[in-house]
Amino acid sequence: MQKAIVWIAFMAIMCLLAAAAGWTASPATKVQVVSIQGTVTEDEQLMDNAGQRYSVVLDAQGELLLGEVGRMVEVRGKLTEDSFGRKTLQVQAYKVLEN
């Protein structure tokens, strides 16, 4: 009888832990390939003409893009948006539109 109670308690705790892990999982994301024109900002972002800001992934291509602060650029890359609306851009290629 006591073994059965311990087993039930153990299983209940495991179920609660599994449920808690599901509640704290990262938000769903969607990814798409895009082309965006905008200005590179000092805070490691790209801001388009409508004022939308995109955080730039700090990989090799992203670092190169961020060296163009204040310039208008056209960027092609993978845009990731999570369920909270946060947008991150992984740069595949870019070109400077003005000097």
Question: Hey, where are the domains in the chain?
Answer: 29-96
Higher-confidence position of 23 and 60:
60
Please give the backbone phi and psi of residue 29, each rounded to the nearest 5 degrees, phi first.
Answer: -125, 155
pLDDT digits (tens, 9 = 90+) for 49-72: 999 999 999 999 999 999 999 999
Tally of CA atoms within 13 A in the half-sphere of 87 that contains its CB? 17
pLDDT of residue 40: 97
> What percent of the chain is modeled with pLDDT above 90?
61
Residues 23, 15: Cα–Cα separation, whole Å: 13
Architecture category of domain 29-96 in CATH:
Beta Barrel (2.40)
* In the predicted structure, residue 4 carries a pLDDT above the cut 80: no
CA 83 distance to own-chain centroid = 10
Nearest to 76 by CA among 35, 32, 31, 47: 35
pLDDT grade for 26, boundaries at 50, 70 and 90: low
pLDDT of residue 27: 56
The dihedral through the CA atoms of 30, 36, 41, 44 has a sign that is: positive
